[in-house]
């Protein structure tokens, strides 16, 4: 045992050269007799190819990195869940980085591509700075970016379309007869905040409703902030009949406040969220939400990367994944419970000692 068998051990035992062993293991044309001897020796010794030596020589690691901004964020998890099987099926291992949305960490990851421990990278930065672009240009391996990237950046890119997403939701609310549709948006200096705000204005115009500053309230993307913001909004405009929230957490906060205020959802006020996280299905009433296709973005990103890893040179591609409105009780007003909710086992546990 001591020090696992190598190609040399096998060669010695089978009475052939290491070249022959390598050929047999790689299925290159070899005499039957030799194949037999090598296979026998390998089996007896329990030989396993050393991936590191293989990578050094072949310049392929069969590993791909995914740098997610935040391991806790359901949107990134949805991506991960799709990326993983695509890579696995193609014979790649997944190296996971968490950058905590810190630009410096993201740039470190890009730079570390020079170490050549992976063949490629999928990255979803919160926002792309000039430093990012600079490092990207010098990246030593193919990269796919999930998110916004300036026009003309020569890199494969997969993006969502939250602007259209907001329009879907507003159209829906308008079709239900709502006419005083407020928006609880995230900070306007974030990329998603700006896009969603723009979507709101466009959508109102499209359905022929006036844009009213009074109906817009800014909150951070968290539940307590959502509560605060919706409370202010209600105080100022008690007459709202629908709330478009910039993400599901804000929407949950909205539900909290409406419940306390004795407003029925959706009868008095309809509520829509965004991101379609699993929280949307769990809440009461369950939450209508705009899916921005995190899962699909992950899958597409993985496929683009694989294509580039196999195919070689190619024009950089840009793919936009369309949003999808998932209607639930918080706007539709049907009973709850119809919907099957997700899967999720229990069993990561054990009994007592």
Partner DNA sequence: CCCCACGCCGTAAACGTTTACAGCAGCAAG
Partner DNA sequence: CTTGCTGCTGTAAACGTTTACGGCGTGGGG
Binding mask 176-215 for DNA (x = CB under 7 A): ----------------------------------------
Beta carbon nearer to its own copies, 128 or 242: 128
Query: Considering CB distances under 5 to 8 angstroms, the limit depending on partner class, which of its own copies, DNA, none binds residue 142?
Result: none
Q: What is the edge-to-edge ordering of all strands in the sheet holding 242-245?
A: 216-218, 181-185, 242-245, 270-274, 288-291, 324-326
Residues 292-311 contacting its own copies, CB under 8 A? 292, 294
139's tokens: 């990246």
Least Cβ distance, residue 233 to DNA (angstroms): 58
Q: Contacting its own copies (CB under 8 A), which of 40, 51, 131, 206?
A: 51
Q: Contacting its own copies (CB under 8 A), which of 116, 201, 317, 324?
A: 116
Q: How far apart are CA 276 and CA 251, in angstroms?
A: 11
Least Cβ distance, residue 341 to its own copies (angstroms): 4
Least Cβ distance, residue 17 to DNA (angstroms): 3
- Select from 197, 287, 293, 291 the least CA-distant residue to 249: 287
Beta carbon nearer to its own copies, 137 or 214: 137
Q: Contacting DNA (CB under 7 A), which of 12, 22, 256, 327?
A: 22
Q: How far apart are CA 301 and CA 318, in angstroms?
A: 10
Least Cβ distance, residue 10 to DNA (angstroms): 8
Least Cβ distance, residue 123 to DNA (angstroms): 23
Phi, psi torsion values for 54, nearest 5 degrees: -55, -45
Beta carbon nearer to DNA, 8 or 341: 8
Residues 199-238 contacting its own copies, CB under 8 A? 199, 221-224, 227
Beta carbon nearer to its own copies, 14 or 110: 110
337's tokens: 């419970």
CB 314 within 8 A of CB 155: no
Beta carbon nearer to its own copies, 306 or 329: 329
336 lies in the site for DNA, by CB under 7 A: no
Block residue for tokens 């970016």: 145
25 lies in the site for DNA, by CB under 7 A: yes
How many angstroms separate the Cα of 18 from the Cα of each of 23, 24, 49, 234?
9, 10, 13, 78
Using DSSP bridges, classify how beta strands 318-320 and 270-274 pair: parallel, antiparallel or unpaired. unpaired
User: What are the DSSP E strand ranges found in the chain?
Assistant: 63-68, 93-98, 120-123, 143-146, 156-159, 181-185, 216-218, 242-245, 270-274, 288-291, 318-320, 324-326
Q: Contacting DNA (CB under 7 A), which of 2, 27, 46, 58?
A: 58
Sign of CA dihedral 150, 151, 157, 160: positive
Is the backbone of residue 29 left (phi > 0), alpha (psi -120 to 50) or beta?
beta
Beta carbon nearer to its own copies, 231 or 242: 231
Least Cβ distance, residue 319 to DNA (angstroms): 33
Beta carbon nearer to its own copies, 130 or 151: 151
Residues of this chain that interact with DNA (CB under 7 A) are 3-4, 6-8, 15-23, 25-26, 29-31, 33-34, 47, 49-50, 53-54, 56-59
């Amino acid at each position: 045992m001591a020090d696992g068998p190598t190609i040399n051990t096998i060669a010695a035992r089978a009475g052939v050269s290491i070249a022959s062993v390598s050929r047999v293991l790689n299925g290159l044309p070899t005499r039957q007799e030799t194949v037999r001897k090598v296979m026998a020796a390998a089996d007896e010794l329990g030989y396993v190819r050393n991936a590191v030596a293989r990578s050094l020589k072949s310049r392929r690691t069969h590993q791909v990195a995914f740098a997610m901004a935040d391991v806790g964020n359901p949107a990134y998890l949805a991506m991960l869940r799709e990326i993983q099987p695509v890579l696995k099926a193609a014979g790649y291992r997944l190296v996971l980085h968490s950058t905590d949305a810190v630009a410096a960490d993201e740039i470190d990851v890009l730079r570390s591509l020079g170490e050549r421990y992976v063949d490629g990278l999928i990255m979803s930065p919160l926002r792309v700075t000039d430093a990012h672009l600079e490092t990207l240009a010098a990246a030593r391996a193919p990269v796919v970016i999930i998110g916004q990237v300036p026009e003309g950046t020569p890199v494969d890119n997969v993006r969502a379309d939250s602007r259209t997403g907001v329009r879907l939701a507003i159209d829906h609310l308008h079709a239900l007869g709502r006419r005083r549709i407020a928006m609880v948006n995230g900070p306007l200096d974030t990329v998603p905040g700006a896009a969603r705000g723009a979507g709101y204005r466009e959508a109102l115009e499209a359905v022929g409703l006036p844009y009213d500053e009074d109906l817009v309230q800014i909150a951070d993307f968290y539940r307590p902030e959502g509560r605060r913001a919706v409370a202010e909004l209600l105080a100022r405009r008690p007459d709202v009949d629908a709330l478009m929230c910039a993400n599901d957490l804000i929407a949950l906060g909205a539900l909290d406040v409406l419940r306390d205020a004795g407003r029925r959802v959706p009868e008095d006020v309809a509520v829509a969220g965004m991101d379609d996280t699993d929280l949307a299905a769990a809440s009461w009433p369950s939450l209508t939400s705009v899916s921005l296709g995190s899962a699909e973005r992950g899958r597409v990103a993985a496929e683009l990367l694989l294509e580039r890893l196999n195919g070689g040179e190619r024009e950089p591609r840009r793919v936009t994944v369309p949003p999808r409105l998932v209607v639930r009780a918080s706007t539709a007003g049907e009973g709850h419970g119809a919907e099957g909710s997700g899967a999720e086992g229990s069993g990561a546990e054990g009994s007592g000692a």
